[in-house]
Chains A and B, each alone.
Chain A
């Protein structure tokens, strides 16, 4: 029975409709080719892409690109009628592809239900991309040709190699020439002739592209008995490995700093409420969550301007969370002054209420927060080191928030009052500081900053009712580790914990790294109960 079950396991492809007519296949027109193409299964489609690409027509390239984007549809009733889907804003329209060469016509009113999508899968898309690169290499601009060469790197077959060799002399630009040489050299590594292989190694030594390294590695394995070549190739590889080691270190450091920036954002609001006011705010995580939900609501309100939504969300989240903070302070915490353990319990109760509130209002499902395009993608410094944009922005943003807060505390009147109240409440009161007012503002500020952190986190993780909970313990750890009542301590604490975590992770795995860092902090606090940067002064106990 069991063998039978295992035997049954196999792959059955979804057969697409439409009979394949014999004469269509030989016909040189784009329409006929596409009609033939649409009737194939995925594996056949993959092979047929090249046939489609060889037709020299203005429409070939746009058609391949449209296929890649999944924009081509055909009529359910007539599989020779093709349409291209176009989106203008939220509206979806279809324009028929006219004539033998399928030039796009004006949009037509047609029911989407009467059309069937011309489906492609990953394998076909991969082939399409190679085909597009091949066409672009012939007709594209310099930038397009460079991109095409990059796509082809390490993926040439002998035929394509010969074609490329013919194309190379026509190139005028030095950059394209360089890239040509690289692509060709990678292919030559597989040559039967030993001298040719050795010659190919020259331009490849020290190149960081993973395809180059993989090709050299494969060549070493394939020609293991060619001693001279193996020695040379290994030396070339070792040289690259050294450089790569350095970049990997930089990358891990960046990961650590980026995690640290998340810690910093999450913890800094807590550093204010806990450190300065001495209030344990267990609802701090929920302030972060409120900020993230504010981002969601802002995006709902301005769907056409997603690019700017975050810029609006930052102040909005600050206000929403800050307002909640002031409410909590005035409504509950002010009655619990000097009883830190009680504030802990009361704010924990508030956190439960807020979580359930969000669940009731927004449903327990995670909400979708879009990333604006300027935050997606990465800055590619070289083929092995690229820094993701969203992390870079958040790192910069966290530092900006930090500096603003330091400025606020050191240079403004409000900061002066806050520090006065935190150092000696009675004396500050005697000097005419409205301590109640200062308390409410400080708490509001701490909560508002948490809300801002929520905006940043909405770009990295789930926006759901449990968002806050996952950060609360880490935030407490950062504040306690850095030293309570000290913003610099929070900064140093956040980044050192982040970096430590990321350097431990490859050695121990993510969970163990987390545990080790926690245990380290527990032990550290036993040794130095005041944290990294203890508060100076006599009030310490």
Chain B
């Protein structure tokens, strides 16, 4: 009996000691959830470095709310279940105040249930297929209406394209984007036989047959373009094959949504001259903020040849919006930060402003760039800021749905305008 008592007393003392230690350090913890190993490390490592750079810069300015920021970096190793596990670790063990992370849709989908359960806050910096608006995630990359549709509009008007090849890697983003584009093109009077859709697996390396059929499709006497949602590794052999089969940008321009400066740094871009990409940011954008950002990045990474790209800008915007909201709310508490985020405007890197919208997306300009011989893009078109639309208007099921987390009457990420109900979500 006596022994038991001493034991529990000792335990209590230990527990006390433990808790005091964890309270002693008063910092704002920022979780970084990007794969540092595995297949996605190629792209995601850059974003980890971007967040670390932003944190360093913010700390140099004196941190936030008088506290220093502290980065907690974890490696989900391109393993999707691991994303969920690491999110739980960040939120419960490390008790971070915000997370910057994810690249692929599947990693975001994996994180979603955990971050909603634990009421965390995440900024997601990559263009994606839309059809989602979580209470706990802010999407600073492009929704389909901020990338795909303006790009098609550009081709329709500038290059008078009549025939379309929608080529993509077989996963959700291309599938959804192509569904939306198909509906959009048909609404613009393009006939079904003038649209060719082709899907290839991840890392597809033998493009002979597909490029040849694109060539065949494009030789019907109408101006033809390829809208490419081909992802990552498959792009190099795709463009090489295009070049070798003699398809130039003047014959059949290819507009890509997943090829940016960083991807081009692994290419010999001479045969690609004039092919297009649509993003919300290019390194070649002329603005003061951008040249400052570029030199900051080059100095931070200690490599003069490193390039900047669109997801980096999205990270930049997300971080600044969060920092501003924290200052405005005077707290890092998730709900307070969330409600002060709505309507916040921060400068983007293309000379304009990004506004955080009640549907957790942001407003972004759409830029179309032509690939240059030096691996950079020459901007040939730029729209004013377009508001990000979580639920596309071009698919029947999702046209009924809207998202608004600010309006207390809706307060939902998927509010059905017809049934006036918010399905599924349990908040």
Note whether A and B contact each other (Cβ less than 8 A).
yes
CA distance A413 to B307 in the complex (A): 54
Q: How many residues of B contact A (CB 8 A)?
A: 65
Contacts of B243 in A (CB 8 A): 376
User: Does B209 contact A252, Cβ atoms closer than 8 Å?
Assistant: yes
Interface 1/0s, chain A 311-342, versus B by CB < 8 A?
Answer: 00000000000000000000000000000000
Q: Is A5 at the interface (CB under 8 A from chain B)?
A: yes
Interface 1/0s, chain B 228-255, versus A by CB < 8 A?
Answer: 0000010011001101111001100100
Q: Is A173 at the interface (CB under 8 A from chain B)?
A: no
**Other-chain residue from B204, B221, B241, B379 in contact with A211 (beta carbon distance below 8 A):** B221
User: Does B209 contact A255, Cβ atoms closer than 8 Å?
Assistant: yes
Q: How many residues of A contact B (CB 8 A)?
A: 70
User: Does B240 contact A460, Cβ atoms closer than 8 Å?
Assistant: yes
- In the assembled complex, the CB of A242 is this many whole angstroms from the nearest CB of chain B, namely 16
Q: Is B268 at the interface (CB under 8 A from chain A)?
A: yes
- In the assembled complex, the CB of A250 is this many whole angstroms from the nearest CB of chain B, namely 12
User: Does A6 contact B145, Cβ atoms closer than 8 Å?
Assistant: yes
CA distance A13 to B154 in the complex (A): 10
CA distance A461 to B233 in the complex (A): 8
Contacts of A539 in B (CB 8 A): none
Q: Is B77 at the interface (CB under 8 A from chain A)?
A: no
A217-B221, A378-B244 given as contacts; is B380 within 8 A of A462 (CB)?
no
CA distance A126 to B268 in the complex (A): 23
- Name A's interface SS: helix
Q: Is B295 at the interface (CB under 8 A from chain A)?
A: no
CA distance A205 to B198 in the complex (A): 32
Stretch with Cβ within 8 A of A (4 or more), from B24-32, B308-316, B339-347, B384-392 = B384-392
Contacts of B411 in A (CB 8 A): none
Interface 1/0s, chain A 252-268, versus B by CB < 8 A?
Answer: 10010011001000000
CA distance A7 to B394 in the complex (A): 14
**Other-chain residue from A121, A123, A368, A509 in contact with B267 (beta carbon distance below 8 A):** A368
CA distance A117 to B380 in the complex (A): 13
Q: Is B287 at the interface (CB under 8 A from chain A)?
A: no
Nearest A residue to B246 via CB reads A378
User: Does A123 contact B158, Cβ atoms closer than 8 Å?
Assistant: yes
Interface 1/0s, chain A 449-486, versus B by CB < 8 A?
Answer: 00000000000111110100010000000000000000
User: Does B382 contact A14, Cβ atoms closer than 8 Å?
Assistant: yes
A386-B245, A466-B233 given as contacts; is B380 within 8 A of A42 (CB)?
yes
CB within 8 Å of A: which of B199-216? 199-201, 203-206, 208-210, 212-213
Stretch with Cβ within 8 A of B (4 or more), from A31-39, A56-64, A388-396, A399-407 = A388-396
CA distance A506 to B246 in the complex (A): 21
User: Does A460 contact B219, Cβ atoms closer than 8 Å?
Assistant: no
- In the assembled complex, the CB of B309 is this many whole angstroms from the nearest CB of chain A, namely 12
The 8 nearest A-B residue pairs measured at CB: A214-B221, A210-B219, A366-B266, A388-B244, A255-B208, A461-B205, A461-B237, A462-B236
Q: List 19 A-B contacts (CB under 8 A).
A: A2-B389, A2-B399, A2-B402, A9-B145, A11-B381, A12-B381, A43-B158, A122-B159, A122-B274, A154-B221, A211-B219, A217-B220, A255-B206, A376-B243, A386-B246, A388-B244, A389-B244, A390-B244, A506-B213
